[in-house]
């Protein structure tokens, strides 16, 4: 996820995407790939882990709520950014500034949430889950990832 966010940010540093053409198409493709990767791989892990942790500890519940709210906000922000990128593709150059701001906002939020997952969530999960529970979580993640029809974006 870090790499995908960096690729998007890097693409927006050049000006070629600010008008219809290959650079814009590549940027849109990168954004859509980030969405797909999140849906297919990253999000199922969170859903399984959150389900196992929910209700065990008030601090864990607060962290889970924050991460879920942030995820919904990131989804909305990225959808808005894509809408503005479509406008750029239709010749609306003014939409590029808004798209850039939204993409930067999304990537910053994503980095912050990934950091929380790697630190606070990992600490909570290590403290609250037994090895058997970890095994069950890994199995449920594998089942969800293997069943693409079950994946949906949060709305």
Q: Tell me how far apart the alpha carbons of residues 45 and 39 are, in angstroms, rounded to a whole number.
A: 10
For the CA atoms of the chain, what is the radius of gyration? 18
Q: What is the mean pLDDT of the chain?
A: 91
Yes or no: say if 73 and 12 are a contact pair by the CB < 8 Å rule: no
pLDDT at 122: 92
pLDDT at 67: 96
pLDDT at 57: 95
Q: Is 17 exposed, middle or buried (0-12, 13-18, 19+ CB in 10 A)?
A: buried
What pTM was computed for the model?
A: 0.86
Q: What is the pLDDT of residues 31-88, one digit of tens each?
A: 999 999 998 888 888 988 999 999 999 999 999 999 999 999 999 999 999 999 999 9
Question: Which are the contacts of 92, defined by CB distance < 8 A and separation ≥ 6?
Answer: none
Backbone torsion region of residue 54, taken as left when φ is above 0, otherwise alpha when ψ lies between -120 and 50, otherwise beta = beta
- pLDDT at residue 151 is higher than 70: no
Alpha carbons within 13 angstroms on the beta-carbon side of residue 56 total: 16
Query: Greater confidence, 42 or 115?
Result: 115
pLDDT at 148: 53
- Three-point CA angle 8, 28, 80, nearest 5°: 90
Region 91-109: what's the mean pLDDT? 97
Q: Of 6-20, 33-47, 104-118, give the lowest mean pLDDT range.
A: 33-47
């Amino acid at each position: 996820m870090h790499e995908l966010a960096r690729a998007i940010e890097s693409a927006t540093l050049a000006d070629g995407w600010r008008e219809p053409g290959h650079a814009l198409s590549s940027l849109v493709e990168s954004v859509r790939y980030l969405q797909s990767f999140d849906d297919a791989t990253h999000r199922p892990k969170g859903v399984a882990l959150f389900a196992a942790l929910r209700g065990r500890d008030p601090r864990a519940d607060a962290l889970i709520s924050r991460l879920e709210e942030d995820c919904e906000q990131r989804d909305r922000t990225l959808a808005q950014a894509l809408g503005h990128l479509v406008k750029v593709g239709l010749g609306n150059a003014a939409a590029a500034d808004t798209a850039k701001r939204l993409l930067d906002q999304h990537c910053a939020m994503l980095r912050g949430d990934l950091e929380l997952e790697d630190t606070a969530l990992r600490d909570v999960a290590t403290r609250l889950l037994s090895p058997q529970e970890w095994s069950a979580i890994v199995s449920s993640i594998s089942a969800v990832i293997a069943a693409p029809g079950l994946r949906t974006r949060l709305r």
